[in-house]
Chain A
């Protein structure tokens, strides 16, 4: 079964750029689409965006001006960059696989999540 592991700094200063990487193991990144989803403390889930293995991206319009998701197929990794962060970006960040069955899409594999705190 495919496994995902997030990595990156747990503390980011306001106005700086949050950078996270997700490593895909026990499987290939060369299929499906690869997502970032976040969860502020005590709140619900927010979809940030995804990238197809081909490099095509789709972002949440609420974050689009600040988000970049990229993929490195040679390393079996994909990454998230979120610029100009504020305290409102403090959350647990999950990387995840979204896969299709026919025309139906669902997230079937999740990383364990990594907590990112925005604070000076």
Chain B
């Protein structure tokens, strides 16, 4: 199985801050990397697919980059509705695997 490791596990930030979350794969996954966020009690929501493609309807303050084993999700200006847990997921192979999550909290 491909292991996905996110860092940090949690972070505190203020509205308007630039936030960066990192995801590392245990082997090269090209750009087969997706990002989701999840609010408490809700299902995850797709933000980014194919490492850098913005899902329809997702605000442009979200962006993704990377290829191979190292990937980044950036929120350019954190908004109140962005406080959530963020997960990366590889779709290079099965079983699909997720990172352990990064919880973004209000400072």
Knowing A47-B97, A113-B43, say if A105 contacts B55 (CB, 8 Å): no
Beta-carbon contact of B43 and A61 below 8 Å = no
Contacts of A108 in B (CB 8 A): 46, 49, 55
Of the listed residues A58, A104, A110, the one surrounded by the most CB atoms of chain B closer than 10 A to its CB is A104
Beta-carbon contact of A44 and B43 below 8 Å = no
A45 adjacent to chain B (CB < 8 Å): yes
Knowing A101-B49, A106-B34, A108-B55, say if A45 contacts B44 (CB, 8 Å): yes
Beta-carbon contact of A110 and B45 below 8 Å = yes
Contacts of A98 in B (CB 8 A): 91
Interface members, chain B 66-107 (any A CB < 8 Å): 87, 89, 91, 94-101
Beta-carbon contact of A107 and B50 below 8 Å = no
CB < 8 Å: which of B42, B49, B98 contacts A45?
Answer: B98
